[in-house]
Structure 1
Amino acid sequence: MKNLYRGPGLRRVREAVGTGAVAAAASLAAVGGLSAWTTAGYAGSPAQIEVREARVLLPVIPGRDTNAYFRIVNTGGTSDRLRSVASPVVGRGVELTAHRMNAMNGAYRERTETVDVPAYGEVEMSPYGAAVTLPADEMWRPGDRITFTLDFVRSGRVTVDAVVRPVTLGSAS
């Protein structure tokens, strides 16, 4: 005997089966993608920060503000963010800054809250990008070492000595 009833109940079952099949396929695709990501070694790879170069420019006019530049390398699979810099030698007035241009093509430095360090990438601080602005000591001489502590969101604190260098064509970049 043929089933003549094809009311809303059968249609709902078909829709539910179709929806379930789509959800199952999406779940399998997600699990497959995550498995590939994990197998490639990317899952669970934390940020690993190294400061490979650190220098402080000796200001041309003694006692004026100057800049410190760091080459920050992240060999980990997660990005990180530099949120502050401090120095027991300098004390107050150390701040993260960024190079900006105004409408008249005048350059200036502006305080910034953080500096992003990409996963498997680096940040090369320079006069044309991120820097650390600080008050200089009139007693600093080329070759002196200034201790800084860089505080990162994920990696925590990294302490490094920056070498005081005179401003020359090669030291600003």
Structure 2
Amino acid sequence: MKNLRPPRPGRLRRAREAAATGTAVAVAFLAAVGGLSAWTTAGYAGSPANIEVREARVLLPVMPGRNTNAYFHIVNTGGASDRLRSVSSSAASAPELTTHRMNAANGAYRERSGAVGIPAYGEVKMSPYGVAVTVRADTAWRSGERVTFTLDFQRSGTVTVDAVLRPVRLGSAP
């Protein structure tokens, strides 16, 4: 008969620690899988950007043929962010993304900007005090007419929208 000795205390302690570590890893794994499953079931995982342009307008310049601005209300109802890279139009000359700036003498001017980020489940409302699309107005434009623009997004591709020509209302934001 073999001589069976009781296990040494150090081995028992190491076995308990290994079992506790394994249990902690298994619980963390199950929690992560459960959380990801719930996230996916709720429809958030892999939800692409979903861009809508809810409003589009162009201000008629006070002096026909001068630069003016187009404003778009862009909404992303998808779970991934997107970026407006550029804007084009066959009816408006040289559209470019710009942003409002102030100089040291409190003079306002527009500066070319890069791409405009559209957050997931978020929106961007272009305005005279932020991002806009600066274009050269056509001298034949009249209030109420429409100008077609194509907005190019990094993930969503292109979105074509008609913007309504509106006169500038002095003393109020467009």
TM bucket, shorter chain: 0.7 to 0.9
**Residues 79 and 119 in structure 1, CA contact (< 8 A), matched pair in contact too:** yes
**Residues 57 and 171 in structure 1, CA contact (< 8 A), matched pair in contact too:** no
Whole-Å separation in 2 of the counterparts to 1:161 and 1:129: 21
* Change beyond 3 A, Cα 1:106–1:14: farther
TM-score by length of 2: 0.83
Structure having the higher Rg: 2
* 5+ residue gaps, structure 2: none
**Residues 59 and 166 in structure 1, CA contact (< 8 A), matched pair in contact too:** yes
Whole-Å separation in 2 of the counterparts to 1:44 and 1:70: 27
**1:156: which partner in 2?**
157
Please report how far the alpha carbon of residue 24 of structure 1 lies from its aligned counterpart in structure 2 after TM superposition.
2.7
* Change beyond 3 A, Cα 1:34–1:64: same
* 5+ residue gaps, structure 1: none
Note the aligned Cα RMSD (angstroms): 2.4
**Residues 59 and 136 in structure 1, CA contact (< 8 A), matched pair in contact too:** yes
Tell me the percent identity: 72
Query: For 1:119, what is the secondary structure of its paired residue?
Result: coil
Please report how far the alpha carbon of residue 80 of structure 1 lies from its aligned counterpart in structure 2 after TM superposition.
1.5
Query: For 2:152, what is the secondary structure of its paired residue?
Result: strand
* Change beyond 3 A, Cα 1:4–1:18: closer
**1:165: which partner in 2?**
166
Whole-Å separation in 2 of the counterparts to 1:155 and 1:60: 35
Map 1:1-173 to 2 at 5 A.
1-3=4-6, 17-91=19-93, 93-169=94-170, 172-173=173-174
Cα-to-partner distance string for 1:68-92 (whole Å, 9 max, x where unaligned): 001112222222211110001124x
